[in-house]
Amino acid sequence: MNASPLALAGAEERRALGFLADLSESLAVSLDLRETLDMAVTRIAAFMHAEAASLFLLDAASGVLECRICVGPVDINGLKIAIGQGVVGRCVAENATQIVREARSDPRVNANVDAETGFATRSILCAPLATARGVIGALEVINRRDGGLFDEDDAEILRLVAAPAALAISNAQLAYGLVEQQRIKREMELARKIQKSMLPKRRRGAFPLLGVNLPAHEISGDFYDFFDLPDGSLGFVIGDISGKGLDAAFLMVRVAGLLRWVGKRAPAPAAWLAEVNAELCKTLTEGRFVCAAVGIYDRVTRVVTFASAGFPPALLFGAGSFEELLADGPPLGILAEASYGERRIALGDRALYLFSDGATDVRDAQRKTLGSDGLRQIILRHATLAPEPRLRALLGDLKRLHVVDDTTLLLLQEPGGKSAQPLLDLHFPARAGEMRAVRAALRTALDAQELGPELRDRLVLAVDEACTNIIRHAYCGECDQRISLQLVREHDMLTFELRDSAPRVDPARLIARDLGECKPGGLGIPFINALMDEWKLEPAADGRGNVLRMRKRIGTGGHE
């Protein structure tokens, strides 16, 4: 079986080599593989003096062989055989040529085919179509016309002619696969463009809504939208379709359209969600649902009315702290009779962040998810930026992590408000026992600015000294009057503002002793002098109490 062609007898050998060269050439230059293979199998049958010949191809996914070309008295085109079964199945399973000399008594031969077709199979040769990718099928010839039996030489010839056929088929399959892949890629790209074109265009000028959508793959199941309403207010929508991929993307197109269509009539957000939910419950397939939040914002009063259907908690950020707005009802498309709450929020200068769960599902290098706390840290870090650069910075931070799901962010904030949002806004009674908690809150706020522990601790000490001076010298001892602490950052300048309602303190009365003088007490002001770049104590503008402003410039890299 492994004999080289040179082992064949002289004249037969030359005839075989000539045939092989011919066949190889016709297969190599073929433009229509099907037609060429048809002709090749016919020629192989003739050359082998066989009554019938057939070519089986393997469907790798199902492991089933199917007859694709057949010549001879019986048409077995479409006949299917499992790998390992019968002569053809065994040939492919073993990647070895099979010779059957006595078909009627050979256990490899399936007698049913003859019984059904009336054909009398006596002798079979079957060679695998072997390629670098593995066996892709088999070539079979049946019964010598001269009534004789196929021998080892015949087996060797069939093995040789199977090789160029296998190569031609394999190349054609690869080429087809490549074309198919290119086609799918082109179509996905087109789908992505259409999806992207459905997102609202960024508005020129000072506009309070900004959105970004970051698909995990070509296409997204997330969306956001905003539009003008007849009374001059703005409608907005953000949503996330359950599941990923093409079906989620198709559904997204439909749901986004529905939410917009209903929203344009400007119903109250709770009614808006209820109407879309009722429609989706009629048509969504089992197991599909949509998390969405909708709202209407009045730019004149700066009031937003907002409702959420199973959407991740929205974050309202202002004066250094977050408020979480939980969902007002279940996701859309699950319960036809679901009803939704809604809430009115006086937004003022604050920021409302809406984000799909992709934003909190981003992973770090250790595969740990960012979570809601991590997202808050990132928002805090960029809190002093104007809305647009802030959203860009947020997205940049998320992209540096590993985005595993579609991620969408919508930010509602009136631009051009106070440029510097306080990073911390604390009010506490003038009692020494409060200071531990104040220091802890200040550490957290400063850590979000990535100052490094040394500078952070020095700034905490200075603020603590200032507070204890207010308690001891302005209020003349502990009392229930208030101290307020605001931390503001403008570029690289941190400002700590402390307000009290104590009687006016004369700044001239504050005497700083020299450091290095070894005596107890009087260290507070020298500490502040050493730790801050500058400070100023003034009477409050409204005449009640004192204002102490301490400033510190922080260098890039977080160190002094």
Which residues are at the interface with other proteins (CB under 8 A)?
431-433, 435-436, 439-440, 443, 454, 457-458, 460-461, 464-465, 468, 471-472, 515-516, 518-521, 523-524, 526-527, 530-531
Closest approach, Cβ 431 to other proteins, in A, equals 8
Burial class (CB in 10 A: 0-12, 13-18, 19+), 146: exposed
Minimum CB distance to other proteins smaller for 391 or for 446: 446
Query: Shortest approach of other proteins to residue 467 CB, angstroms?
Result: 9
The distance of closest approach from Cβ of residue 488 to other proteins in the complex, given in angstroms and rounded to an integer, is 24
CB 468, min distance to other proteins, A: 4
* Minimal distance, residue 449 CB to other proteins, in Å: 18
Residue (87 or 426) nearer to other proteins, CB: 426
The SS3 of residue 394 is: helix
Between 407 and 469, CB nearer to other proteins: 469
| Of 454 and 538, CB closest to other proteins | 454
Q: Which is nearer to other proteins, 234 or 446 (CB)?
A: 446
What is the identity of the amino acid at 192?
Answer: R
DSSP string of 138-159?
EEEEEEETTS----HHHHHHHH
Least spacing, CB of residue 524 vs other proteins, in Å: 5
- Provide the 10 A C-beta neighbour count for residue 351: 22
Residues 293 and 225 sit within 8 Å (Cβ to Cβ): no
- Among residues 50 and 451, whose Cβ is nearest to other proteins? 451
Alpha carbons 470 and 205: distance in angstroms, whole number: 45
What's the alpha-carbon Rg for the chain, to the nearest Å? 40
Strand order in the sheet with 98-100: 80-82, 64-71, 50-59, 134-144, 124-131, 98-100
- Show Cβ contacts of residue 257 under 8 Å, excluding neighbours closer than 6 positions: none
Do residues 355 and 396 make contact, with C-beta atoms less than 8 angstroms apart? Answer: no
- At residue 308, φ and ψ (nearest 5 deg) are -130, 130
Find the shortest distance in angstroms from Cβ 448 to other proteins: 16
Nearest CB to other proteins, comparing residues 91 and 471:
471
Nearer to other proteins, 420 or 460 (CB): 460
Closest CA to 199 of 227, 170, 228, 160: 227
150 Cβ partners below 8 Å, 6+ apart?
48, 99, 101, 123, 124, 125, 141, 144
Long-range contacts, stretch 444-447, CB < 8 angstroms, 24+ apart:
445/320, 445/380, 445/487, 446/487
427 has which bridge partners? 484
At its nearest, how many Å lie between other proteins and the CB of residue 514?
Answer: 9
